[in-house]
Structure 1
Amino acid sequence: MQNFSSHIPTKIIFGTGAISKLPLEIPDSTSSILIVTDQNLHQNTSIINDINTLLSNYKVFVFDRIEENPSIESVDIGADFAKVHHVNLILGVGGGSSMDAAKGIALSVTNELHFESFLNGEVPKNKPLPIICIPTTSGTGSEVTPFAVFTDKIDESKKGYSHPSIFPLISIIDPELTYSMPESVRINTGLDVLAHASEAYLSKESTMLNDQIAIESVKLVIANLPLAVRGNKSAIHKMAYASVLAGIAITHASTILPHIMGYPLTVFHQIPHGKASILTLRAFLDFLAEIGESVQKVKELKSIYDVEGGLSGFLKNLGISSKLSDYGVIESEIDKFVEKTIYKGDIKITPGNIDRDIIRKLYSNSL
């Protein structure tokens, strides 16, 4: 039997109405709180105001300048805002962008550095401010991971950051907070869950325990995302659970090649992250089957997808094309995408001895 270790330091509070427990979870030393979120959530839903009401005993400030695929610059601006207001707790409220930005802000404040320093290898000398994550989408799993991803506008790339200190202290997952998600966001974040779980399952780092967590998440997405898109509340709750499971799975095994192949698709074609992450997965699975790598795991995943007519059929049922060409991607761009992908660390834990030619072929086969 395989030896393994497993650890996640984040306290998870899950369930209907879980947000009401937030005041009980605020650390005793807290006096001033920064909510990190996006303008749409702040202005077009009552969620931020409701959280403000729950936190009426504290000074609460809102930084709502986080964009989709948050930039390094936004993190630095948020950190400056936090310093001006002397906050000592960060709440990331929203999707993965807001939660990732909250992690970056929390780390930058206590270390007095621009966040790019950490992306360039600077080791944090101080712990970040405490972080509480409250997801309003079911997708990224950032609420239970030590990861964050940011857009470098100058380099035209997405850059991931990982450090144990940015695990959220607490995550409150209340599926009711995801009811207001637009259909397109529900689909894209749901596809991110599927990508996370599928890739973690295939990762060289996965363990027998992690395999069970990942495959359960895959099954939940295939069975529930189409229903959740149609507003089925039971399915929406199961998608929230699937997101947590997938987040735990990538915490222990990370994502692999299809995810990082999706980064250039988002940067250069504005394909939403979840969708971009899934579009090369079919070609990747076919590649693994062709070379005889991870054969049993590939068969297991395909057998689950086949319930919905295979991965392409599943996407079609959601109104999503599985062809990169339908998003404006052309053959002449592929070499540029390959160079943006080849140096990413996740290639090392991807089965199949990945090189430029393989990445190029996978992009081409996904057109």
Structure 2
Amino acid sequence: MANSHTVLLSAPDVGALEQEYVLAALRSGWVAPAGPDLDLFEQEIARRVGVPYAVAVSSGTAALHLALLGIGAGPGDVVVVPTMTFAATANAVVYTGATPVFADCEAATGNLDPELLSGLLAEGAPVRVVLTVDLFGCCADYERILPVCERYGVPVIEDAAEALGARHRGRPAGSFGRAATLSFNGNKIMTTSGGGMLLTADAALAGRARHLAGQARLPVAHYEHDEIGYNYRLSNLLAALGRAQLNRLDEMIERRRAVRDGYAKVFAHVDGVRLLGGDDPAANCWLTSIVVDPQRAGWQAGDLAAHLAARNVETRPIFKPMHLQPVFAGARTVVNGTAERLFRDGLLLPSGSALSDDQVRKVLDDVTQFLDGRR
């Protein structure tokens, strides 16, 4: 367990502006879920991403669930899910009664492999949706993925939980596919403590998501519901926090990029070590991960993790692939071993915008000390 002196992977970055916004919302009396900050937060995120509609909800997982329901995913349907992702992506599919099929990733980024996807769709399976994930703030290859899905008439939902502020070919993360989702969890690029957002250009999809998120209550004086709904609304107070964070988003991304640049310099001449995603200037640098080739480097990712843990520096392996998770044992997979290698050889390093200069220097010095000892 981390102590008060541990350098964390990605702690929330909040300060005076966030206090000002939340206190103003509290004093306004809009403490319940509805309120002006909630409306403005949706508008500001939609404008930032460049889509017409945004629906603020209680988590990124809730946003995924609503997006899948909006497209009609349900029992008997297949949803393609990248195996290299957090469990929420796959869990949301199961919530609808649909079945996830896990596909492997590209080695360079950890994102969904377009070639494997193309082969899977060519088989003619009843695929209802393809879910993409913008891993660690680097967008999937939509230039290749979207035409493949269009060819087979399969809609795309973009899980951009980690990628707000990133871009692909000049287009913002969160603007791809029939719908996209964001997460504002405490460790994300910006936070509302807990929360998420559904983004879409489809008015009907947005309207149904908003309806379901409010327990599917009809607009009449008494409580009347026309289908099973969910308590997925985001509160006005948390939206106020999100508005302050959004005002600081660009500076927080720049801070994370500076931290990533520091790692890039330290590992630049270390044989057998690379940064996952390379030096993509369009990524938001949410989390920096290295990938270690033990045969060339002479050490394993776990060796560095142990060295840093002994010095109160938090690290974490890259996501354990979904097809290796006990809960999804027996699920259909289309894999080539890439995700398993990234899990085995990858290591996430402290990347948060709240890291102080002293903390960044400490981590870089600790890494350098480890590397010097291995030369």
Q: TM-score range by the shorter chain?
A: 0.3 to 0.5
Where is the helix percentage greater, Structure 1 or Structure 2? 1
Give me the TM-score of the superposition, normalised by structure 1: 0.36
Give me the TM-score of the superposition, normalised by structure 2: 0.35
**Structure of larger gyration radius:** 2
Higher relative contact order (CA 8 A, sep 6+): 2
